[in-house]
Structure 1
Amino acid sequence: MAERTITLLIVDDHPVVRNGLRGMFAASPDFEVLGEASDGAEAVALAAMLDPDVVLMDLRMPGGGGVDAIAELTRRGLRCEVLVLTTYDTDSDTLPAIEAGATGYLLKDAPRDELFTAVRAAAEGKTVLSPAIASRLVSRVRAPGNEPLSTREREVLILVAKGTSNREIAAVLFISEATVKTHLTHLYGKLGVKDRAAAVAVAYERGILG
């Protein structure tokens, strides 16, 4: 049993998922669910009001995604730790969430005991990554130049090649300008360039575009 009760905020756009998680944590005396949010904007507002130890954050939600919410929680300096709980494990989801300030990243198929352990670790500020995510990040660090562009990064690059601004890209792809900048940073790193023009030139050279 934990030395103290860990307080939680559950963020997911599916009521069934929220109810299931609430029931799971309610069955243990180690945890207390303070509230639920259905999108990122609501999550930020409730986290500021309820002051939970840990925010269980889904990523892709209409009305406000998880990455932007994590970045805003970090910007505000709230004490809560964010544990991403999602079905998505691609680099285009994982890396922006971690860079925005998430303490951990877990997939929704994680067993109950693994989830409980991850929440306890997150509450202590410890990094928690699902095995699949951890191995991918290790591979990326070992061979950063050989990483292929994600689907989203490729979409951003195609729009950049057409002379589209960050604001316009955000509107076309239904993401925030901050997320566009994050994708640009990642694809610059993968292509070994420092600006938009060089990215487009290298992408044509490598046959990524055209």
Structure 2
Amino acid sequence: MDDHALLREGLREILDAEENFRVVGEAGDSAGAVAMIAERRPDVVLLDVEIPGEDVTVTVRRIRERSPNTKVIILSMYDGPRLLRSLLAADISGYLLKSVRRQELLAAVRSAHSGDGRVVLAVSQESLAQAQQPAADLLSPRELEVLELTAQALSNTQIASRLNLTEATVKRHLRNIFGKLDAVSRIDAVNKAVAASLITVRDLPPMPRRLRLERNEDR
């Protein structure tokens, strides 16, 4: 399941060339993928992490609802722990970087089809370790304090004053937070932390326009 026809054709050629493998369908967006899978109930699905339509985690959950016995293997260019964690929680059977070799791909499909409960992961050890780390332990207590104040739309200077830190230290904490959450901005970090139940945001003022638009202020 990929929006690039050339990649789908390449995968079809690889899979069709294998004995006991048969490609039963393909789709270029999430809605088409879910509909096709619900109708044909394939044993294994190869799903592009960036397939157009709904978020890939939502797509995986819909696939699992419509066809519980279908195993889902994610194909991705990204090695980020947050995405990996959410997909593992959605019960994927594999997560492969698109840099894997042909035989690694085929081995992953066979492993998923065997139903032995193993999850095939072709990612860095660092990402795997962070993905398996409980969400509550992902950020340090100080990083959580910095992020909670960031969620209140405080500037770096204000956060530094509130926590009795230097502004440089606040920026360092924010860089660490961005890296751990795969965030690209302050508001992105706050949203992801709220989604992961790392912080709770209640009745807070909207983020200033300057902070919403600046993606790399603290990198």
TM-score interval (norm. to shorter): 0.5 to 0.7
Distance between the aligned counterparts of 1:199 and 1:104, measured in 2?
Answer: 39
Question: Where do 5+ consecutive residues of structure 1 fail to align?
Answer: 1-10, 161-181, 201-208
Correspondence 1:136 to 2:127: yes
Does the C-alpha gap of structure 1 residues 47 and 199 become closer, same or farther in structure 2, counting only changes over 3 Å? Answer: farther
Q: Runs ≥4 in structure 1, deviation > 3 angstroms?
A: 152-158, 197-200
Residue aligning to 1:196: 201
Distance between the aligned counterparts of 1:57 and 1:77, measured in 2?
Answer: 14
Amino acid at match of 2:183: T
Residue aligning to 2:212: none
Correspondence 1:45 to 2:55: no
The Cα offsets for residues 98-123 of structure 1, whole Å up to 9 and x where unpaired, read as: 22221110011100000011111111
Residue aligning to 2:182: 150
Correspondence 1:185 to 2:195: yes
Q: Which structure has the bigger radius of gyration? A: 2
Question: Where do 5+ consecutive residues of structure 2 fail to align?
Answer: 141-176, 206-216
TM-score (norm 2): 0.64
Number of aligned residue pairs: give it.
164
The answer to whether the Cα contact below 8 Å between 2:97 and 2:123 also exists between their aligned partners in 1 is: no
The answer to whether the Cα contact below 8 Å between 1:40 and 1:69 also exists between their aligned partners in 2 is: yes
The answer to whether the Cα contact below 8 Å between 2:81 and 2:130 also exists between their aligned partners in 1 is: no
The answer to whether the Cα contact below 8 Å between 2:49 and 2:76 also exists between their aligned partners in 1 is: yes
The answer to whether the Cα contact below 8 Å between 1:156 and 1:184 also exists between their aligned partners in 2 is: no
Higher strand share: 1
Does the C-alpha gap of structure 1 residues 55 and 69 become closer, same or farther in structure 2, counting only changes over 3 Å? Answer: same
The Cα offsets for residues 72-121 of structure 1, whole Å up to 9 and x where unpaired, read as: 12233521010001112223432222222211100111000000111111
Distance between the aligned counterparts of 1:135 and 1:76, measured in 2?
Answer: 33
Residue aligning to 1:35: 25
Amino acid at match of 1:130: A
